[in-house]
Amino acid sequence: MSRYWSDIVSKLQPYVAGEQPRIPGLVKLNTNENPYGPSPRALEAIGQATDDRLRLYPDPSATELRETIAARHALTADEVFVGNGSDEVLAHVFQALLKHDLPLLYPDVTYSFYPTYSLLYGIEAIEIPVDDRFQIRLADYDRPCGAIIIPNPNAPTGIGLPLADIEALVATHPDAVVVIDEAYVDFGGESAIPLISRYPNLLVIQTLSKSRSFAGLRVGFALGQRELIEALVRVKDSFNSYPLDRLAQVAATAAIQDEAWFETCRKKLIASRDHLVTELEALDFEVLPSQANFIFARHESRSGAALLAALRERDILVRLFAKPRIADFLRISIGTDEECAGLVAALKAILAA
Ligand code: PMP
């Protein structure tokens, strides 16, 4: 007997999330979390909402949160879609917007959830090679396609594209949905949000997980013209009409309003990143130019696997990816200055041994 679930088990290659060990004292530089924690105003909002009202379902439309996000970006609430982390937003995007008779294009070195979603939703995908410096060459996307998805900055390289290039891509593909995944844009990238009013085929996705330190609360959002957003809402309402719980909604609203905390934390992380790059280059690492809250670096003589294992022995976690072309690169999330200094000291000791 053929069982359809056997097919899923044999064919679906799920995304493998970064390690989340429950061992105290580890320095976690492996999953791009923000070391500074959410805005104190967000924590206060959670405290104030933690009472008997939790027996009630949350607002299924997350109206206040959507209005707050819209106001920050000079959009209207019906141009904002929210979900449980940008992973869930992306899942809805794949289901609602990307089923075409033409293929989906994305870079071959990129966020590894895209191939997973393509497989899950039966979407033909073509991986467009990045060049020998890991740069996305937009001319290579000049081919028939139903949709394009580009992270800006890209992950796990951290390399950003200028806004003018994104605009050229959106303008030259008027019949394709162009999704720009801006999970890391707040660390020095250029957002495509100002283009939304002019391009009905553009969808921008952001997350609160990184620059707002909300990974544990799971809040992401998509911005685009009304019709694209309405398609996402239809899919959401056919799947789980309450995607964000009450606490996530009030906390995210407060976090978006706390511009001062956001600015302080992201500036600290940018400064720490730039300092870490200098330190690693002095230790003979090749570090790709990063506009994210992580760096992607390989050593001129040591393998990625050896360095990862040696760091792990010193209670420091970083991340490696299986793809052969990038197998020697360590992806290192930017921690506090103390954590970064600990990493550099550990690498010095490892390289001297
Ligand atoms: N997009 C990219 C490029 C990412 O690296 C991540 C984080 N793993 C996400 C989206 C998803 O982030 P979240 O679901 O936490 O919002």
> Do the domain assignments include residue 42?
no
SS3 68: helix
Q: What pLDDT does residue 2 have? A: 64
Q: Treating both helix axes as pointing N-terminal to C-terminal, what angle do 304-313 and 337-352 enclose, rounded to 10 degrees?
A: 110
Q: What pLDDT does residue 6 have? A: 82
Say if residue 130 is in the same domain as residue 211. yes
Residue 2 CA to ligand 1 center (angstroms) comes to 35
- pLDDT mean over 337-344: 98
| Residue 248 belongs to domain spanning | 48-258
> Do the domain assignments include residue 9?
yes
Say if residue 181 is in the same domain as residue 146. yes
Atom 1 in ligand 1: residue holding the nearest Cα = 183
Tell me the pLDDT tens digit for each residue of 181-225: 999 999 999 999 999 999 999 999 999 999 999 999 999 999 999
Contact residues for 202 (Cβ-Cβ < 8 A; gap 6+): 170, 178, 180, 192, 195, 196, 224, 225
DSSP string of 290-337? --SSEEEEEESSS-HHHHHHHHHHTTEE-B---SGGGTTPEEEE---H
Say if residue 67 is in the same domain as residue 123. yes
ipTM over the 0.90 cut-off: yes
Say if residue 214 is in the same domain as residue 285. no
Count of H-run helices and E-run strands, the chain: 11, 12
Band (277; pLDDT cuts 50, 70, 90)? very high
Q: Where are the beta strands (DSSP E) in 143-246?
A: 147-151, 177-181, 202-207, 220-224
> Do the domain assignments include residue 43?
no
Say if residue 238 is in the same domain as residue 136. yes
On the question of a cis peptide bond just before residue 153, with omega within 30 degrees of 0, the verdict is: yes
pLDDT at 1 over 60: no
Atom 2 in ligand 1: residue holding the nearest Cα = 183
Q: What pLDDT does residue 56 have? A: 97
pLDDT at 241 over 90: no
What does the block give as tokens for 341?
A: 């200094």
Say if residue 131 is in the same domain as residue 9. no
Say if residue 103 is in the same domain as residue 196. yes
Tell me the pLDDT tens digit for each residue of 18-58: 888 877 889 999 999 999 999 999 999 999 999 999 999 99
Q: What pLDDT does residue 243 have? A: 84
Report which ligand 1 atom has the smallest distance to the Cα of 84. 14
What does the block give as tokens for 69?
A: 């996000």
Q: How many domains does the chain have?
A: 2
The CATH number assigned to the domain holding 222 equals: 3.40.640.10
pTM (2 d.p.) = 0.96
Say if residue 219 is in the same domain as residue 94. yes
